[in-house]
Structure 1
Amino acid sequence: MKTTYIFILFFFNITLSIAQEQISVYFDSNKFDLTLKENRKLQQWILENSNSKILAINGYTDEDGTTGFNDTLAKKRVENIFNLVKGNIKIREDYKSISFGENHKHSANKAENRKVVIYYILEKDLPNENKILGLPEEKIEEKPKPEIEYPEKVVLENPNGTQTVYKLDREFMKKIGNASVGEKLKIENLNFIINTFAVVPESRGKLYELLLVLQSNPQLKIEIQGHLCCMPVDRLDLSTQRAKAVYNFLVSNQIYPARLSYKGFGSSQPLFPLPEKNEEQRAANRRVEILIVSN
């Protein structure tokens, strides 16, 4: 679907408040791509603010060059930053993308005027978003999420020309996609080779279930939690390594890392007390769960 970006070319003065934050990234002269240093700065900010919300993106230039050239350059800078943050951080639907060009210079140092400023609200302040912006409080009726039709199976091509078919649990996938923040779901039948963090071949379909759900729900953020059975002390930190194995699979398949985290709990949160009485209890205790962080 084609998307059109409208850059509003007028002076927009954002009234700052205690609950409103901002970050500036800087550009080389006549450039609209970030330097490596500034790009790393922006990526780190994205990681640290994955649950924040962007209100506005303002672009500026120095006074070198014609006014028309600078207006165009400022637009490109804003558009570049927008493309880097979209899909990774929530953006207010009526947010402002504004290109000031060489207007509104803030410093006698030209380098400090070649910038884009992102205004945003921290996660803790989102419940007061309209109040912070001076907007009337509105009761917004939540629209039901559209029903997603997940595939019944995944077919993988093997190097030797054969195919591997994994049948998918579509009901479980729907449950993850529709889960509420704070809800925790166990990934059933996700098994590992004993004393390792390698997923057994029969369980790889469970990884694709999680991958497809994350691909179909771009606002979904999760924490992957690993648990062990049997032993009171996780000396090898195996629970963390198993959670990390799921994390690495998702990241290697283009799920943005800011949407994911992982943690190992050893056997500190057993469903059945240690020592377990039978294999059924041990199997229940050694598990990987998904905590819904944002949806």
Structure 2
Amino acid sequence: MIKYLFFVCLLWSGTIFSQDQATFYFDVDQDYLNRTSEVKFTRWLQDNQQIKISRIEAYCDSTASFAYNKRLANSRAEHIKKRLEENTILIDSTAIVVAFGDDFIGATQHGIHRKVVVFYQKIVRNSDLIIPSLVQNVNTVNPLEAPVTLTSIDLTTQLQKAKAGEFIILQNVNFKFNSEVMVDPAADILKELLRFMQLEPTLKIEIQGHICCNSDPKDIKLSTRRAKAVRDYLISNGISQQRLSYKGFGSNKPLFILPEKNEKERAANRRVEILIVQK
């Protein structure tokens, strides 16, 4: 049994935290993919539907001015980002988009540095790794609201980097069917949020609840109760009510258009976010 758990842990760590990258090239002075990379990009999209983008880096060569190259690199990054969004590829809420002009080592190697590098991680569902003691009771969770584990930068790092007005998705905050009762591992992420708020007494947040699969714009009751449940957890552990507010949006602010096409889209729409109000 110990060997089995050890093997599963190795499999888990090797899958969830590994990060891949794909590189696509552009012709000189162009912000759309060259013919070869267009074919590669299309095939890559077909083979990588269950991924999350963590970083996009765009580069230019040094054949023009720094300002021009910076603008061109940014256009290349935005081109790829738009293509990913059009293909409903999940982009992490903390994803970083970086545009380099010719301000990097190797910029004079023209052809190989007219490129965009996409860093991404595979999305791993709980059902992909079956550990008997961790399997949820199938009678307590709606199949359309089953927990989905997404790889991400840890919450503390996101909170440290976030500015007022920015949103952070609380990964793995899941609930029982048609209920505001949370399902583990929500406790872990909420403990992390609690610790950060204890260390940063000036931080104020708004907790926002969202649901999937419901086209009625007036039905916000469940999402409101779930947002309130997160707020109540923080208050019960000593965080001042003055630092917390909450709001439910139902399905009015989906990341993917309703009706969702698949479980990836339902999982993305079914979420709890926090808005940084003051830091």
Shorter-chain TM-score tier: 0.3 to 0.5
State the TM-score, normalized to the length of structure 2: 0.45
State the TM-score, normalized to the length of structure 1: 0.42
Greater radius of gyration (CA): 1
